[in-house]
Amino acid sequence: MIQQELRIYNSISKEKEVFNPITPGAVGMYVCGPTVYSNVHMGNCRTFLSFDMVFRYLRHLGYKVRYVRNITDAGHLENDADSGEDRIAKKARIEQLEPMEIVQRYTVDFHQIMAKFNALPPSIEPTATGHIIEQQRIVQEILDKGYAYEKNGSVYFDVMKFNEDQEYGKLSGRKLEDMIANTRELAAQSEKKNPQDFALWKKAEPEHIMRWPSPWSDGFPGWHLECTAMSTKYLGDKFDIHGGGMDLKFPHHECEIAQAEASSGISPVNYWMHANMLTLNGKKMAKSTGNNILPEELFSGNNNILSKAFAPTVAKFFMYQAHYRSILDFSNDALIASEKGYLRLMEAYGMIDSLKPGSTSDFDVAAWRQSCYDAMNDDFNSPILIAHLFDATKIVHAVAEGNQSMTADDIATLKQTMHDFMFDVLGLEAVGNAGDDSDTLDKTVGLLIELRNQARANKDFATSDSIRDQLAEAGVQLKDSKDGTTYTLK
């Protein structure tokens, strides 16, 4: 293993903590996956790509990682008050399809999008419908311990009772008394003792398509329950990391903690991690307002928001230029700037093999290499890592132009380190795969360089300078040397 002290911001303690896995050399990580009733959106993608980076870095350090990410294919109702239709069943009703047709369609879409982003698949990808028995067992355990009650065939978690023995709200920092004070009185038809109680099992109404037999009724599990069942089945009653989007902190993850502690008596997770949201042009992404873009619309350019198509790896690079816990705004200008930076990085990496080694080094490669690790060890600080990678591009150009010297060993270390962090940790793809226009760009600029060389040979310096200046305005910097003319992207 690579010996590094990794620190992770723990959402439950609200501070960075040194990472010490339960089992030395091994990590158990659970991440809440998608509810597959529609195409995965860019906000979802950012969360899953953030944890892909975490997964990759842990593996890079030498940990054996069991990464579990679920598929929610039942039980997720339209709102957090345990009311409304099941999202998948509603989509099936509208499109006049079987619910599992909806599940299959959007699960395939999710996997295809993640593959385009070059995200690694999880170790295990369980589904809610595949774990009904496990969920029913946990409901019974919570009932037996007095932390739940049955009403008309539905089973609800008794938050007030639980709070007598444990602390409900410790992840989100909410106090139960404040929640009660800010909640309207229960409607007369509600089955719950208190508004804060949540469903562990819901009795299915006659029109509800997705239902399973249980000791309490023909019904379906509560949304929060599935993650408790699947995470503990594959990772144990206590595991290392639980991740998800910031929007899941309350009530979903709060309820997961309560369920696990009520059933097993053990707080389930050592490190809670939450990725922040994406905005679009400074506003919250929302399908209802039209301020939204799907991954395929981004990749194809078939949208009314961006000026051009962007390759998946460029979009991924853009997202990693912000820390996973910070809000990131998606905009045309920001993506264009990120694309230029990405191409500059890939160009420098491609130049390393042509560098001529010297007898000494003007650059401390070992210290730079450790600075890359230091960035990732500081709660997976990808923007600082990328800044260090850009420092390396400057050195590559300086050595290529003869302004600095590096030994052969240091050049090899520089290349290996850039490869490790660009491709293994960040999961970027080489420039040849970045987009369909890279070869076209080379040919176009090459033609203009040839025309400029002809103008210079004819002593037509006005045309020669005009080509150079117009390319510079377009972001293409020409570099003349005794070996010919090359170009870089600004």
Residue 45 burial (CB count, 10 A):
26
pLDDT at 490: 63
Domain check: are 369 and 388 in the same one? yes
Helix, strand, coil share (%) of the chain residues, nearest 5:
50, 15, 35
Range list of H helices, 352-460? 365-377, 382-400, 408-419, 438-457
> DSSP character for 244?
E
C-beta of residue 276 within 8 angstroms of C-beta of residue 325 = yes
Domain check: are 256 and 382 in the same one? no
Burial class (CB in 10 A: 0-12, 13-18, 19+), 160: middle
Order of all β-strands in the sheet with 219-221? 148-151, 154-157, 198-203, 219-221
Say what angle helices 254-264 and 132-144 make with each other, to 10 degrees: 70
What is the CATH classification number for the domain harbouring 373? Answer: 1.10.730
Domain check: are 199 and 297 in the same one? no
Write the Ramachandran bin of 429: left for phi over 0, alpha for psi from -120 to 50, otherwise beta.
beta
Separation CA 58–CA 243 (nearest Å): 14
Domain check: are 94 and 130 in the same one? yes
Does residue 154 lie within any of the structural domains?
A: yes
420-446 residues labelled b (16+ CB within 10 A) or e (exposed): bbbeebbbbbebeebbeebeeeeeebe
Domain that includes residue 27, residue range:
7-275
pTM for the model stands at: 0.88
**Total tally of structural domains belonging to the chain:** 3
Residue 271 burial (CB count, 10 A):
21
Domain check: are 66 and 215 in the same one? yes
C-beta of residue 433 within 8 angstroms of C-beta of residue 58 = no
pLDDT at 434: 43
Does residue 2 lie within any of the structural domains?
A: no
Order of all β-strands in the sheet with 239-245? 64-69, 26-31, 239-245, 269-275
Does residue 177 lie within any of the structural domains?
A: yes
User: What are the pLDDT tens digits along the chain (490 aa)?
Assistant: 999 999 999 999 999 999 999 999 999 999 999 999 999 989 899 999 999 999 999 999 999 999 999 999 987 887 766 777 889 988 998 999 999 999 999 999 999 999 999 999 999 999 999 999 999 999 999 999 999 999 999 999 999 999 999 999 999 999 998 888 877 555 445 789 999 999 999 999 988 889 999 999 999 999 999 999 999 999 999 999 999 999 999 999 999 999 999 999 999 999 999 999 999 989 888 766 778 899 999 999 999 889 999 999 999 999 999 999 999 999 999 999 999 999 999 999 999 999 999 999 999 999 999 999 999 999 999 999 999 999 999 999 999 999 999 999 999 999 999 999 999 999 999 865 444 455 667 778 888 888 898 888 888 999 999 999 999 888 788 888 766 887 776 6
Domain check: are 232 and 310 in the same one? no
Range list of H helices, 254-381? 254-264, 295-300, 312-320, 332-351, 365-377
pLDDT at 476: 85
